[in-house]
Amino acid sequence: MKPISRGELARVTGCNLETIRYYETVGIMPNPPRTAKGYRSYDDSLVRRLKFVMRSRDLGFSLEEIRGLLGLVDDRTQTCAQVQTVAEAHLDDVQAKIADLMRIERVLSETVARCTGDGAPKCAVIDALLEA
């Protein structure tokens, strides 16, 4: 693949142009080389890297977790055990969030079920929120 511009990178990957700029600013994406006319030039390795970052974000990895994973990849020293450690820690966080969301759903469902929905000024949802 021949090198492409930042705009083309955004189009090819579906990543917002400002997000690409942000990733470069915070060091998730390296500053790309420039053409003789000063335009940024993204090669296939940078396209793959951005897709890796985007997929990692889709799975809920933080930028710091992604930075750690990319560090392992960039150093070419990654082992499956190191990656597994990062992924397991992230999975634990996801499972904790799911448990919290299930608790929230249960409480909201119970509260909404107590609500009459009529024109009375008394409301079970408001009462439940005021109890806290």
Spell out the per-residue pLDDT of the chain, length 132, in tens.
Answer: 799 999 999 999 999 999 999 999 999 999 999 999 999 999 999 999 999 999 999 999 999 999 989 988 888 777 888 889 999 999 999 999 999 999 999 988 988 888 877 777 778 788 888 886
Q: Is residue 61 part of a domain?
A: yes
Q: Does the global pTM surpass 0.75?
A: yes
Phi and psi based region of residue 38 (left: phi greater than 0; alpha: psi -120 to 50; beta: remaining)? left
Q: Is residue 117 part of a domain?
A: no
Specify the number of domains making up the chain: 1
- Which residue reads 């992924």 in tokens? 87
Chain centroid offset of residue 130 CA: 34
Q: Give me 55's structure tokens.
A: 């997929």
Q: Is residue 103 part of a domain?
A: no
CATH number at residue 10: 1.10.1660.10
Provide the domain limits for residue 71.
6-78
Q: Is residue 22 part of a domain?
A: yes
Q: Is residue 106 part of a domain?
A: no
